[in-house]
Structure formats: C-alpha cells, structure tokens
A = this chain, B = another copy of it.
Amino acid sequence: MTAAAHRPATLEDVARIAGVSRSTASRVVAGTGFASPAARERVAAAVDHLGYVPNPAARALVRGDGVRLVVAVAGTSAAVLDDPYVHRVVGSAARVCTPAGVGVALHWLPLGEPGSLGQLARDRSVCGVVLVNTTAELLDAVPRSLRGRVVSIGIGSADVPSFDVDNLSGAGEVLRHLYATGRRRIAMVTGPEWLPCSQRPVQAYRQLMRQAGLPERVLPGDFTAARGRAAAGEALRRWPDLDAVYAISDETALGVIASLRDRGVRVPGDVAVAGFDDIPLAAMTAPALTTASHPVGRIAVAAATAVLDGRPAAPETLFPSALVVRDSA
C-alpha cells in the first residue's frame, strides 16, 4: 500500500501493473473462477502495491445486487425513526453490512400506505429490506419481487421470514414470577394496539389471568417512559387494589415506577413492577428493575445477515428471552 495515489486505483490499474487482463485480475480479486498461482501472486502484489480497494457500487451494478439494505419501520409518524430500539437495529445492521460493502438506509413506512414498499422493491440499489414493527396489512403488501430479500423483525408471513424474541414465553415467565410471589391484581401496559407483535404478550397475560381466575386489566402503551407515567396514574385510579404492573418495555416500567413513587406508592412493597428488554440501565435504577431479556442486537444481526446472504431463511427464528429477577418485582 503505497502513499495515497491521488486517484484511487481501479481494477484496470491492478491488471496493468500485474501484467494480466482485467478479467484475470477480477477473478483473483473476487476470488471467483480460475487463475494460475503465478497470476494470483502478481495480482495480489499489485493490489497491495496500489492499495486497491474494489468499488462495491460498480460490482453491484453489473451483478444487479444493490448496495443498500433498507431498515423500514412502520408507524403512525416519522418520529418512529428516532426510537432507541430502531437505532439499535440500524447500528447492528450497519455493522454487519459494512464488510459486504453495503450501506444501511432508514425508511419510514406510513401505516395504511403499503404502496411505499413497491418503491423500495423497484429501487435497484436496494439489496434487501428489514421490516420493523410490521403489520399483517403491510406484510400482505410485500411485492413478489422483494421475496427472498425481505425479512421482518416482529411478525412474519408465508413470504417474509420473521426474526423475533420469544416474547410469548418471556412474558409468561415474568407473569408466573409475579404470581408466584403473591401478586394477584396485575395490570399490564401494552404496546401500540396496531402492532401485532405486542399482542403476543397480551395473549399470554389474558390466558394466565383467566386460568388463575384473576381480573384482566390492560392499558395501551407506546413503549415510552412518559406513557408509563400516565398509565400508572390511570391504573391506580381504576384499580385501587392494584398490586403489580407488567409493562412491555423497560422504559415504560421505569415511568410507571417514577409515577408510583411520586404518589407515595412503594415499589415493590405496595406494587411490584416488571418490564421487558433488560436495557443496561435496568440494573442501575432504584429499585433495580425485574425484567426479561431481549437480545435486540443479535436479532438485528441475524435479520440483516439473512437478507445479505439471500439464502431462504427459516419462516420463524425465535430468540430466547430470560427472566431477570432484581428488586422491583
């Protein structure tokens, strides 16, 4: 790697220096096809000498396989793109895509406008799509041409493999823990109503409550701490005998705790609170948060890798969620 040539080297330069044709140079650089050991060596030397770096855009153009992986987030407003969860997904995806010479783009998918997916499908620079917060409606609108290069973090469909945390059993574990520690008046703060993947934990909740003959108390949420604050007040007002709150996000749970504290309700003494995600700060709060783990990074990596590889993925890949018992419940 020589000092910066002012114009970055191209494969043509490499070929010339190595005394071979561009085709041969291409074969050894891309590691595809045949080449004599001698040629191999001389090309390698030239690459090294020139500090040659292949241009993924040119390669993608000729092979027709795109240079951008799109993370497409469904939601009611573009504000969903500011969500910390989304940023974690994008960050992890970017890390995986970099070695492949692929960049990550971040799109908002307006609910009820499934047409925006067609746009992505017709953009030849898009090598694939990772859907986040999908709905059944959106899944149905996935164009044929996207098949095999689209996956979903959340619910999936026949055409769209899904990667998600096993939130059904995760929720079950948390709820059983609440029950086992004597809680009987358990309220749940859910995710947005339109979001299918937040329905699973609700199912788990309803089922368990029914089995145990306990009242079902569900409050809609949106994963934010602010909503947690509000929900706690509402819960207390509607159900004064409340002895536990299960929130579907750690942020929300912390909001619940903050609100409870402000009102002089002790946690976990009077009311136990549990969350979902196990964010790093969950261990630092007072009381430390009881929650269930959520390997967002690993899920995003798996989803992005599946798109990049282009191999047919399993219809559903579930990542385990583990109960983490701390102080709040």
**Which residues of A line the B interface, CB within 8 A?**
1, 4, 6, 8-9, 51-58, 60-61, 66-71, 81-82, 84, 86-88, 90-92, 94-95, 97-98, 101-107, 115, 118-119, 121-125, 143-145, 224-225, 228-229, 251, 254-255, 257-258, 261, 280-281, 283-286, 288, 297
Contacts and interface: CB of A to CB of B under 8 A. Distances in A.
A91 B86 contact: yes
Contacts of A67: 56-57, 67-68, 103, 125
A105 B104 contact: yes
Given A61-B58, A254-B285, A261-B286, A8 B123 contact: yes
A145 B106 contact: no
B57 A125 contact: yes
Contacts of A285: 254, 258, 284-286
Contact of A55 (B106, B123, B251, B258): B123
A105 B125 CA distance: 15
Given A4-B143, A103-B103, A105-B94, A57 B52 contact: no
Closest 8 CB pairs of A and B: A103-B103, A87-B91, A94-B106, A68-B103, A8-B122, A57-B125, A53-B123, A55-B124
9 contacts: A57-B57, A57-B60, A67-B67, A68-B103, A84-B280, A87-B91, A90-B94, A94-B105, A98-B107
Given A86-B91, A286-B286, 14 more contacts: A4-B121, A6-B145, A53-B119, A55-B61, A56-B68, A57-B125, A71-B94, A84-B84, A84-B87, A90-B104, A91-B91, A104-B105, A225-B283, A285-B285
Contacts of A70: 98
A225 B279 CA distance: 12
Contacts of A57: 57, 60-61, 66-67, 124-125
Contact of A8 (B8, B84, B124): B124
Contact of A95 (B81, B92, B125): B81
A291 to B, nearest CB: 14
A119 B4 CA distance: 10
Contacts of A124: 8, 53, 55, 57-58
A97 to B, nearest CB: 7
A52 B94 CA distance: 27
Contacts of A69: 103
A78 to B, nearest CB: 9
A102 B105 CA distance: 7
Contact of A1 (B104, B115, B255, B288): B115
